[in-house]
Amino acid sequence: MSRLVRRITASALLLATPVGCTGGAAAPDGGVDASIVVIDVCDAFTGVDTACPLASPVRCFALCEAGGCFCRATPAGPRWACETDLSCVPDCGPLDDGCGGPSD
């Protein structure tokens, strides 16, 4: 039993020891460059066929399977394009008469 405990302890120490330890000297951490600007393309939406900051595959204002708006590359520069997909929206509400209600 104590042999198992020693093996687990030794394994834990090996996993906890950083590889390539520099003996206490601080090494560069490869952190994020503060000059990088992150753009949330969806926050930049101003309207269909208006200019947008950067062409992107990101879908904004998702609706059903394919609906939403995209910032697409066009000859005039990046422009907003929206697609309407209402395939997941029911034709009528659950309380509308004669519309997919429970059958008798």
Find residue 67's DSSP bridge partners.
63
Retrieve residue 70's tokens: 């995209």
pLDDT score of 76: 93
Average pLDDT of 76-92? 91
CA distance 8 to 16: 12
Q: What is the pLDDT of residue 17?
A: 45
Look up the pTM and report it.
Answer: 0.51
pLDDT of 11 over the 50 cut: no
The predicted model gives 19-48 an average pLDDT of 68
Band the pLDDT of 41: cuts 50, 70, 90.
Answer: confident
- Per-residue pLDDT at 51: 94
